[in-house]
Structure 1
Amino acid sequence: MSCWYSNFLPQQYQLGTQPSRATKRLQTGQSVTLDFDKNSVVTLDYGREVAGYPYFEISNVKGPVQIEVKYTEQFDGLNHVWADGPYYFTNGLSNSFRVETFNITKPGKLESYFVQGGQRWQSIKVLTKGHITLTEVGFVPTIDHINPDNLPSTFSCSNPTYNEIWKLGANAVAAACFDANSQPSTWEVTEEGAYIRGQKPGPGVHGMDWTDYTMTFSSKIIRGGTGWSVSQPISGTGLVLLLVSNLPEETTFVNTNKTLTPRNSIVVASGWGFVNQTTLDSQLVGSFPISIDIKEGIWYKISTTLLSGSQLSIDIDGATVLNISLTDYGVSALSAGGWGFGPYQDQSALVKDVTVHASNGTLLYENDMLSSSILSEYGVRQNTEALCMDGAKRDRLVWLGDFFHTSKILTSSTSRWDYVRGTLDYLLSTQLSNGLVSIAPQMGYNTSSLKEVLYSYYGLNDYQILGVLSFTGYVQRSGDLTWARGVWSSIQKQISWILGEIDSNTQLVSFGGFLGDAKGTAISAALVQALNEAAVVADALVDTKSAQSYRDTATEISKAINELLWNNELGIYVRSTSSNTSFGVVDIAFAISSGVASDERAASSLVRLADLKLTPGYKDISTTDAASADISPNTNGFLLAAAMEVNDTAIAKYLLDSLWTAMTNDEYSTGASWEYVAQDLSPGLSLFTSQSHPWGGAPTYVLTEHVAGISAATPGHKTWIVQPAILGFDLNWATASVKTQYGQLSVKWELGNKVLTVKVTAPRGTSGNLQLPSGLQIKDVQINGYQSPPGTIIPLQSGSSIVKIQLT
């Protein structure tokens, strides 16, 4: 297998009769032969998270030979029939399945039609008699092919583990963010209709509030079956249906699951799909044999009627083949929703001539499915914007609140400011007239149509606050004021909606959400932080009226938090006015990072973290059962930054040494940050866990901004602060560089023999201060060889400055 630098190639391999951890390094030009009778499986290890189109260079075939290919982030996924999938949460412009089968008939290059969103491991298994010789296997990238050791913004230090931890966030954003037009449509529009290969049914934007209708379409099965859904919201679950062909031997793969999808049957499921995947619960209603011999390559007219959310009937070419009550099978009545199309794994079909009639016969919808406009309508249009997903393989949605960490990681590593702008522009394009922004819009739709149907995607109201913080955090670090000015009115409208939700009696935020309870510490303090940061942006945009208004409101909310939510007896900020003895990680974190907590109250709150401490990191809430808790790098990331802001290096060090070090263990590592971590240091949601999830990558910016010590005092680092964490991490040196609009700003500090040396290289036209920890006992200070008054704050200018501090 040869090396081609622009593709993702496996680093190691292992041959055998079952998946086994790859230990043999692939050499340039090496080929691998798989044989049904001997060495039928090759396991490939890419070393870290990769994504793109799977391809296979085949030099020799004795067959034809069918091969089964599996993809997974964790090695153990290769031992499961569905690998670490399927992922029916969203179409995501990628393969919904983590297993696909190919029939190899001749040498040459074979490329999968679908993108695989993210994986480290891959296995290829020969299923039928014969053999094939592979000369190259890999992925054509659909993401940036980065070298984490050579990025525009960098960090390294004397602790190699911390260097790997810093890379976790950089690799996560590289895998979860991508360029415009890099994720092609998963449908193919042809002269015969929409050619749809096996995937999550893509629900259209019409009929989201419709019930009691008949949806009719024509379909020609190419392989295996044709699939569709009804009563299907764009976000959520509905009724998923599958018509299975007579499964002729010449087109049917030998690994086809004929128990789940028996020939000449209709398979019905309620929920996300036909099989469960951890939190994506599905209820298989059953496989119902039909009397018609369903042939491949023949057009059939299929009508589906669902009445009262329960009475399901299906006609094929006018003959009723299924008529059941879903309640007889334990399925609760389904709510309103539209329809979509998508066959099952390894299946493919053509779809055309879709109509929908009301129960009284009125025609509600008609589409011949011959125009490319259907791609946007059914949410499978190629991405037209540079975007960041919540995760590489799963949750391939643009989550508003989760972007809080992502935007900061980007500015501290890959410096892809266009990804931040593209994502925030996409989110703001969903803004309603009242100011609300969709919290998780899907790729593939026209966002103007999403506004009309995605009511459920405007929940989790605290994500509006985190969205504002994503904006302010980006502007502070980038200084991208031209872009900020263009979206400022939209951000202000969003802030106005949030301010309208402040309870007039308590001056606390009236809604609850992901972060915590209504009238609680976390959400109200997060708003204080958002308002104060928005005021800084307003200052930069010379909007002095807004700046003062935001600061005044932040002061009022801060006062209310301290008066109503501080429990003096417990020495902690509590969850809410209605839960005045429990507390959590985010309550502590945002009370500190927002500036709501005084130094004394911050210190007291951090002491109470002992009540939340687990083997790695901290559980979210004091009332959570410790025995069953998974640890969230997202919420612990808020805490990591807050602890460093008050120089509590002991807590920060514990988090780095336990929670984030677990992600570098090669048994599970993808080189990227995870969604959750279990207490045994494995991924926290088993195979479902997203192991390339930027919301878990906070150390990437925290190490840069607090351990190396580079931060922006004013937007864009026009003025900056270098405040390195010299003490508390057992480090001898640390260095970082950040790309700014003025050029590279870099710092390196070294400590030895009672001498601290700090070298700062700053772009022309900028200036800042070197701020030293108060715990240092300073005897003498020299700047570029010249004596300077000793002190903990040392003014510096642009250019290169070498500061030597003699310690007592």
Structure 2
Amino acid sequence: MATTLSFTSPATFLDSKNQKRSPQYEVPQYILPVRVHSYTGSVKSAEHLVARPHEPCQYDAHHSCTFEQPRAQHEQSSVILDFGVAVAGIPVIEVSSIEKDPSLSTVLLDISYSEGFPGIERPGGDGPYPFSAGADTLRRNRFRIRGVGFYESKHVQGSQRWMRITLVSPEPCSISISMVGFKPTTMNTPLEELPGLFECSDPGLTSLWQYGARTLQLNSIPARTVPPPWQLSEDMGILIDSQRCNAYGWGGHWTDYAVEVEGMVIEGGFSWNVRVAGGRPGLLFVLNVASGSNPANLELWYGYYNKPQITLVPILLSRQDITGIDIIPGEWYKIKTVCCGSLDLSVYINQKLIGVFNQGGDGSSDSTLDKVPQTPRGSVGFGAGQDQLCRFRNVTVKSIPAQEILYTSGLNNPSVLGDFGIGWNQFPYIFDGAKRDRYAWTADIIIGGPSLYYSTAGTEYIRGNIEASMLRSTAKDGELGLLPAGVPPGREFERPSSDTMFNILCVNYSLYLLTVLHDYWLYTGDDDFLSRYWDRVTGVLAFVETLVNDQGLVVAEGIMAADYDYYNGRQEGISTKRNVLYVAAIKNCVTMAESSAINDLALAKTLTARAERTSTAINQHLFNSDRQHYNITTKRTVGFQQETHAWVLLTDIVPTSHKQLLMEKFKTLYTGTHNHSPTQFTSDAEGIKPTISPITSAFHILAALSTDDVPSAEHILRSVWEPICDTSSPHFTGTTWEFLLPDGTPFEDQFCSYAQLFSVGPTFILSRFMLGIEPTAPGFKSFLVAPRFPVEGVTWAQGRCPTPSGEPIIVRWQFFDNGWKLWCKAPAGLTGRVVVPKVVLKRGKRLMVCGLERGLEQDIEINKDSRQNLDIEVLF
């Protein structure tokens, strides 16, 4: 019998050139702005900085934009440029002409960056971000122009839609620029040409899938593409330009010592750390040269940097004028700092005592910097404050009183970068946020990983994060331990693992990573990788089991109780979420233990018993019968938490009688927001700022789908990401945001990451549940095609899902007035199963497979022995 239904959706996605993931290669070309937003002062022909129409990566070197600073002009000449969406790369300009007073050695251009438009109106862009050495500390680069030619920044700017160029040199001067843009450091493959694809009849949902994919592109960092924050010279040591201090990586346990180093000011001053450890804030000295009527001075701060980011505000402890010695730019000075017990810190320049500083404070080591902790131990570090350019060389650290050399270096050899953990990134990584933190966290890929598998297929980035954490873990060779929550991007893995660099060891991050490893294995079929690090997996499971109390519940305190939602406070003690994560991780480990790659059935049996024990304990001890939901912790019993209850449902430990009750409870999260999108907690939760979280909302959607509550899933999908998709918003970047305020604007203002891995959940949710493709065995050896997210108004969907075979699984389906049609194409050798949606079967009267009528069955097999094009029609 001939088929009666014909697809009307566009079929360009079937183009064969887009079905395979080719090696990571793109023709080198600049990323150029697409329009001029505005300009002030004397700016001529700003339109010449915009990319040519229909040639977005080409510019005309024969035309230029001129910035002038004439006499008596009070405002600086500047232009704001728009790149249309968030882009990444190393800032670069081409100068075609320059005019300046003979007394000026350089003309100064400041270029600032911002993801959202509000940030570009600020002098420093939307920064600074001093937390991670993987990011440029500042969001404003100073270009020192001496003549015509190309100039580029020393560092990557990871995500920005907006750029502002400002001529800051004093009058009179002018400069002409024929090109400004970025040398890309991440892939910019057009989204419709990615290995994975999703399209549907709702353009908004198609765009949302793409915004997640673009976010993944910006955060996928190829190996050796993050430059060190220091530049090395054999005779002149290290050059540092406005970068946070970075500390020697094996000195975190040092107590009493004297550090001597030679420093040279080129512009502004220089800075250094003492007694700083683990990537935490510490004691920061900033030397400032004389400027105008202000004498040279030395400041002591507690913090990462002498300028704040919103969540990391440094504290100025003391400022002392420098007397008796002139600090002259271009000359070397010997700086000595003495740290001994709780005594005052002494600073000498060229053997002259120039300052004595009280260490101050008896507060907490909380990284919010609201108090100054005591600093009895820690390493030494070097950097440059805002608008400071400097050099250091010849450092020696000696213990007190033994005078043992703890560290010495000329600071003029590439090995120095490894000493301080700031070399080129050895692994490909996927960062948490393209602007900030630019760090290889592990929790973020619990959502980012699945979305990557359905879009860019850059599995090496996920593997890089997992492998880096595994290599740093102590949970190996039969030892107990946890998995580091993240890894400094510049760490060299040939070095000893006993470093004191930034290293958070907490239970939840370790459990996330076990699930991330399971997902990586499921989507790639990489048995060798799983086997290589299985001892780390068992070590983590053994360690967490030591935290289980007599009730069968995990108990964690202090830093071990930390989680990615730091702004909600730690869930110390007995946390429902932590215990549910433990059950989820155990169940995933059971699947891996039972596989042919591990084949440890005895362990699988033991783990199954642990999962059952803790599941029972959660229901017995953490369900609040008075409030009819699960407690946040045994101490925090007021308030309903979105993520906890999503995990409880997804882990399937909820008694059937409670499922519908909990789905109704979720609706209490919808009040108090601009469009009834859910918040993370109900308003009665104490000490919690109301926020809308895309990552926890993604888990909420999955929980709703697991209970067949499709209307709730659709409501969350549309409402949470609605502001992110609003192209008229000043915050629009074509990428997904970290979290939001109840009014739909970014949380924490411009600090918010606008290209955040947390928030790409719709990319995999739409591919997996609306299009319907997912693996049911590692590496897609068997797979499922089961569209089960029937969103109101969506009449067709189509796309492809990459597989390890190199060829994708392709699916398209469509509703018609008189029926429903699905077409699927799979690589040879894979076994598949198509499940006809329930909403279709309910209306169906006849079912045809490849033109042959069959009974109204729900499951149809896909032949594994040939390239099978399966055509299914259900006639109403």
Shorter-chain TM-score above 0.5: yes
CA change 1:615–1:4 in 2 (3 A) is: same
Which residue matches 2:185? 142
- Gaps of at least 5 residues in structure 2 are 1-25, 53-58, 101-105, 363-370, 566-570
Tell me: CA distance 1:508–1:286, structure 2 relative to 1, closer, same or farther (3 Å): closer
Aligned counterpart in structure 2 of residue 282 of structure 1, from 300, 311, 314: 314
Q: What root-mean-square deviation, in Å, do the aligned CA atoms of Structure 1 and Structure 2 show? A: 2.7
Verify: 1:638 aligned to 2:699, yes or no: yes
Equivalent position of 1:792 in the other structure: 858
User: Equivalent pairs: percent with the same residue?
Assistant: 25
Query: For the Cα contact (< 8 Å) 2:650–2:706, is it kept in 1?
Result: yes
SS of the aligned residue for 2:503 comes to helix
Displacement of 1:546 after TM fit? 3.0
Offset at 1:669?
1.9
1:326, distance to aligned residue in structure 2 (A): 4.4
More displaced 10-residue stretch of structure 1: 509-518 or 119-128:
509-518
Q: Which residue of 1 aligns with 2:509?
A: 463
Say yes or no: does 1:676 pair with 2:739.
yes
1:18 shift after superposition = 7.4
Do 2:629 and 2:640's aligned partners in 1 also have CA atoms closer than 8 Å? yes
Which residue matches 2:87? 50
Distance 1:426 1:628, change over 3 A: closer
Per-residue deviation at 1:427? 1.0
**Counterpart amino acid of 2:544?**
I
Q: Does the CA-based 8 Å contact 1:771-1:793 persist in structure 2?
A: yes
Aligned to 1:647: 708
Instruction: Report the Cα offset of residue 16 of structure 1.
Output: 1.7
Cα distance in 2 between the residues matched to 1:653 and 1:61 = 57
After the TM superposition, which residues 63-74 of structure 1 pair with which residues of structure 2 at under 5 Å, given as runs?
63=100, 65-74=107-116
Instruction: Go from structure 1 to structure 2 and tell me whether the alpha carbon gap of 1:715 and 1:263 turns closer, same or farther (over 3 Å shift).
Output: farther
Letter in 2 for 1:656: L
- Determine the C-alpha separation between the residues in 1 that align with 2:164 and 2:875: 58
Alignment of 1:3-22 (within 5 A): 6-17=29-40
1:613-659 alpha-carbon deviations (Å, 9 max, x no partner): 23363222334469941222222222222222333222221222111
- CA spacing shift, 1:494–1:628, aligned 2, 3 Å: closer
Per-residue deviation, 1:318: 0.8
**CA displacement, residues 339-378 of structure 1 (integer Å, 9 cap, x when unaligned):** 1000123322221221223342523422222332211111
Q: Which residue of 2 aligns with 1:769?
A: 833
| Deviation of 1:460 (Å) | 2.8
Would the alpha carbon gap of residues 88 and 109 (structure 1) be closer, same or farther in structure 2, given more than 3 Å must change? same
Q: CA deviation at 1:737?
A: 1.0
Deviation of 1:338 (Å): 1.0
Query: Cα gap change, 1:676/1:450 in structure 2, threshold over 3 Å: closer, same or farther?
Result: farther
Deviation at 1:380, TM superposition (A): 1.2
Partner SS, residue 385 of structure 2: coil
For the structure 1 residues 293 and 517, does the alpha-carbon distance in structure 2 shift closer, same or farther, using more than 3 Å as the test? closer
Distance 1:19 1:71 in 2: 21
Deviation at 1:510, TM superposition (A): 5.3
Task: Tell me, in whole angstroms, the C-alpha distance in 1 between the residues paired with 2:326 and 2:341.
Answer: 30
Equivalence map 1:322-721=2 (5 Å): 322-327=355-360, 333-360=374-401, 362-365=403-406, 366-432=408-474, 433-447=479-493, 451-454=497-500, 457-508=503-554, 512-514=561-563, 516=571, 518-540=573-595, 541=597, 542-613=599-670, 614-615=673-674, 617-622=677-682, 623-624=684-685, 628-666=689-727, 667-721=730-784
Residue 436 of structure 1 contacts residue 458 of structure 1 at CA under 8 Å; is this kept in 2? no
Q: Distance in 1 between matches of 2:702 and 2:799?
A: 17
**1:722 equivalent in alignment to 2:782:** no
One-letter amino acid of the counterpart of residue 782, structure 2? T
Partners of 2:41 and 2:581 lie apart in 1 by 50
Report the equivalent of 2:160: 119
Are residues 328 and 430 of structure 1, via their aligned partners in 2, closer, same or farther at CA, if it must alter by over 3 Å? Answer: closer
Matched residue type, 2:68: D
Q: Which has the higher mean CA deviation after the structures are superposed, 327-336 or 367-376?
A: 327-336
Alignment of 1:205-284 (within 5 A): 205-246=249-290, 262=294, 264-284=296-316
Deviation, structure 1 residue 403: 2.2
Q: CA deviation at 1:507?
A: 4.2
Structure 1: distance between partners of 2:264 and 2:107: 26
For residue 559 of structure 1, give the secondary structure of its aligned residue in structure 2. helix
SS at match of 2:536: helix
Shift of 1:456: 7.0
Residue in 2 that maps onto 1:253: none
Tell me whether 1:801 sits opposite 2:834 in the alignment. Answer: no
1:99 matches 2:136: no
Change beyond 3 A, Cα 1:567–1:756 = farther
CA contact (8 A) 1:61 1:106 kept: yes
Distance (whole Å) between structure 2 residues aligned to residue 195 and residue 684 of structure 1: 36
Q: Which residue does the alignment assign to 1:315?
A: 348
Which residue identity does 2:869 align to in structure 1?
S
How many residues of Structure 1 are paired with residues of Structure 2 in the alignment? 791
Q: Residue 250 of structure 1 corresponds to which residue in structure 2?
A: none
Alpha-carbon spacing, 1:526–1:345, altered in 2? closer, same or farther (3 Å): same
- TM-score, length-normalised on structure 2? 0.85
- Structure-1 separation of matches of 2:811 and 2:313: 50
Deviates more, 1:407-416 or 1:206-215: 206-215
* 1:460 partner amino acid: C
Secondary structure at 1:196 match in 2: strand
Structure 1 residues not aligned, in runs of 5+: 248-257
Q: Secondary structure at the match of 2:808?
A: strand
Moved more, 10-19 or 534-543: 10-19
Cα distance in structure 2, aligned partners of 1:7 and 1:26: 10
Q: Give the AA of the match of 1:356.
A: V
The alignment status of 1:60 with 2:97, answered yes or no, reads: yes
Q: Which moved more, 1:205-214 or 1:570-579?
A: 570-579
Q: Tell me, in whole angstroms, the C-alpha distance in 2 between the residues paired with 1:804 and 1:680.
A: 45
Which amino acid letter does the alignment assign opposite residue 343 of structure 1? A
Find 1:159's aligned residue among 181, 202, 209. Answer: 202
Shift of 1:482: 2.7
Counterparts in 2 of 1:184-223, with a 5 A limit? 184-192=227-235, 193-223=237-267
782-791 or 455-464: bigger deviation: 455-464
Q: Is the 8 Å Cα contact of residues 511 and 585 (structure 2) preserved in structure 1?
A: yes
Normalising by structure 1, report the TM-score. 0.92
Amino acid across the alignment from 1:565: L
Please list the CA deviations of residues 544-592 of structure 1 after superposition, one character each: whole Å capped at 9, or x if unmatched. Answer: 3333333332222222223333334543233234444533111111111
SS of residue matched to 1:210: coil
Greater displacement, 237-246 / 50-59? 237-246
Pair 281,713 (structure 1): closer, same or farther in 2 beyond 3 Å: same
Between the aligned partners of 2:625 and 2:409, the Cα distance in structure 1 is 65
SS in 1 for 2:745: coil
CA distance in 2, matches of 1:369, 1:288: 28
Deviation of the 1:753 alpha carbon:
0.4
Contact map agreement 2:318 2:357 (CA 8 A) in 1:
no
Shift of 1:241: 1.3
Cα deviation, 1:747-795, whole Å, max 9, x if unaligned, reads 1111120411111111112222222343441322111111121133333
Q: 1:625 to 1:11 in 2, by over 3 A?
A: farther
CA contact (8 A) 1:381 1:444 kept: yes
- Could you tell me how far apart the structure 2 residues matched to 1:328 and 1:530 are? 41
